[in-house]
Structure 1
Amino acid sequence: MIIPGRVRLSQILHYVGRPLALLFAWDVVVTAVYLSGHYKIEFPALPMSLLGTVVAIYLSFRNATAYARWWEARTLWGMLVNNSRSFAREIKMLLPQDAAYLKRDLVLRHVAYVHSLRLHLRREAPWQELGARLSDDELHHLRRVANVPNAILSRTAEMIAREPSLDSVKLVALERTMTEFSNAQGGMERIKNTPLPRQYANYPVFFTHLFCVLLPLGLVEVLGWYTPLGSTVVGFLFLALLKIGDDMQNPFSNTENDVPLTTLTRSIEIDLLDGLSETHALKPVQIENGVLW
Structure 2
Amino acid sequence: MIVRPRLHWLRMLFVLRGSVLLEIAPQLLVTTGLAVLVTMAHGQVYHWKIPLNFVPFSLIGLTLAIFLGFRNSTSYARWWEARALWGVLLNETRNLLRQALTLDPGAARHAPALARRLIAFIHALRHQLRGSDASADLARLLPAADCERLATARWKPALLMLMAGEWLGERVRDGGLPPALAQAMEVPLAKLTEALGGCERIAGTPIPFTYSVIIHRTIYLYCLLLPFGLVDSIDAMTPVVVALIAYTFFALEALSAEIEEPFGREPNDLALDAMSRTIEGTLREMMGEAPENDVPPTSDYLVT
* Aligned equivalent of 1:146: 154
Matched with 2:242 is 231
Alignment partners' CA distance in 2, 1:49 and 1:120 = 45
In the superposition, relative to structure 1, how do residues 217 and 35 fare at CA in structure 2: closer, same or farther (>3 Å)? closer
Which residue does the alignment assign to 1:75?
Answer: 84
Give the direction of change, closer, same or farther, for the CA distance of 1:35–1:148 in structure 2 (3 Å limit): closer
Whether the 8 Å contact between 1:111 and 1:268 is mirrored in structure 2 is yes
Query: Does residue 1:273 correspond to 2:284, yes or no?
Result: yes
**CA RMSD, aligned part only?**
2.3
Q: Which residue pairs with 1:200 in the alignment? A: 211
Q: Distance in 2 between matches of 1:146 and 1:286?
A: 26
8 Å CA contact retained: 1:42, 1:221: no
Q: CA 1:111 to 1:289, structure 2 compared with 1: closer, same or farther past 3 Å?
A: closer
Give the structure 1 partner of residue 166 of structure 2: 158
Q: Is the 8 A contact 1:267 1:284 kept in 2?
A: no
Unaligned runs of 5+ in 1: none
Opposite residue 52 of structure 1, the aligned amino acid is G
Q: d(CA) in 1 for partners of 2:111 and 2:101?
A: 6
* Offset at residue 36 of structure 1 (A): 8.2
Shift of 1:139: 1.5
In structure 1, the partner of 2:134 is 126
| Residue of structure 1 in register with 2:121 after alignment | 113
Q: Determine the structure 1 residue equivalent to 2:39.
A: 31
- Give 1:170's match in structure 2, choosing from 174, 181, 193: 181
Task: State the 1:237 CA deviation.
Answer: 0.7
Of 96, 104, 126 in structure 2, the residue corresponding to residue 95 of structure 1 is 104
C-alpha contact (below 8 Å) 1:31/1:225 kept by paired residues? yes
CA distance in 2 between partners of 1:167 and 1:115 (Å): 31
Aligned residue number for residue 199 of structure 2: 188
User: 1:101: how far off?
Assistant: 2.3
Using the alignment, how far apart are the partners of 2:139 and 2:301 within structure 1? 31
Distance 2:209 2:273 in 1: 29
Verify: 1:259 aligned to 2:259, yes or no. Answer: no
Q: Which amino acid in the other structure matches residue 51 of structure 1?
A: I
Question: How many residues are aligned here?
Answer: 291
Cα deviation digits, residues 80-114 of structure 1 (max 9, x gap): 11111111111101111x44121111112111111
2: CA distance, partners of 1:287 / 1:154:
29
Q: Distance in 2 between matches of 1:99 and 1:224?
A: 78
For residue 21 of structure 1, the aligned residue among 25, 29, 32 is 29
- Equivalent position amino acid for 1:291 in 2: L
Structure 2, unpaired ranges of 5+: none
The code of the aligned residue for 1:221 comes to D
In the aligned structure 1, how far is the partner of 2:296 from the partner of 2:240? 41
Partner SS for 2:50: coil
1:135 matched residue in structure 2: 143
Query: How does the TM-score come out when normalised to structure 1?
Result: 0.92
* Aligned sequence identity (%): 31
Q: Distance in 1 between matches of 2:185 and 2:301?
A: 39
Q: Show the counterpart of 2:2.
A: 2
- What code does the residue aligned with 2:261 have? N
Give 1:42 shift: 2.7
1:179 corresponds to which residue? 190
Secondary structure of the residue that 2:49 maps to in structure 1? coil
Aligned residue for 2:41, secondary structure, equals helix
Query: Deviation digits for residues 37-63 of structure 1, max 9, x if unmatched?
Result: 944333032211111111111011111
Q: Deviations over 1:123-155 (max 9, x none)?
A: 111001110111222212212221001101101
How far apart are residue 77 of structure 1 and its match? 0.6
Cα distance, 1:274 vs. partner?
Answer: 0.8
- Matched letter for residue 2 of structure 2: I
Alpha-carbon contact 1:262-1:285 (below 8 Å) kept:
no
Q: Which residue of 2 aligns with 1:209?
A: 220
Letter in 1 for 2:131: R
Q: State the alpha-carbon separation in 2 of the partners of residues 74 and 22 from structure 1.
A: 36
The one-letter amino acid paired with 2:53 is P
